[in-house]
Amino acid sequence: MSPRYRNGAHQAGTVVAVVADVMAFILALWILMYLLDANRANDLVRFVHGSAAWLAGWSHDLFTFDEAWARVVAGYGLAAVVYLFIGHAVANRIHRH
């Protein structure tokens, strides 16, 4: 394998890992904002909530706990863990090739 190909694969793997980290960060930030009762009229809070809702569209209502905070933590937290796990698994696979 040529050094040039290895460098490109390394960069691609790094990009995949960073994207996964950013996605998980947005989800974790929304969980934190929710738990701290952030002002939902604030533009940053609305942006983070909208982004997190889009990222966790498949999981945010997956659990039916009685407490709203538990649903938010479980649903958005699950999405964050999945993105981290899959993103870093793909990045490691890319790095190996």
- Assess contact for 13 and 95: CB atoms under 8 A: yes
Domain around 58: 3-96
Q: Check residue 86 and report its DSSP letter.
A: H
- Assess contact for 88 and 20: CB atoms under 8 A: yes
Token representation of residue 71: 């649903």
Write down the pLDDT at residue 8: 75
Which residue in 11, 13, 27, 31 sits closest to 87, CA to CA?
13
Write down the pLDDT at residue 1: 46
Number of domains making up the chain: 1
Which residue in 29, 39, 7, 16 sits closest to 87, CA to CA?
16
Residues in the chain where the model's pLDDT stays below 70:
1-6
Write down the pLDDT at residue 6: 57
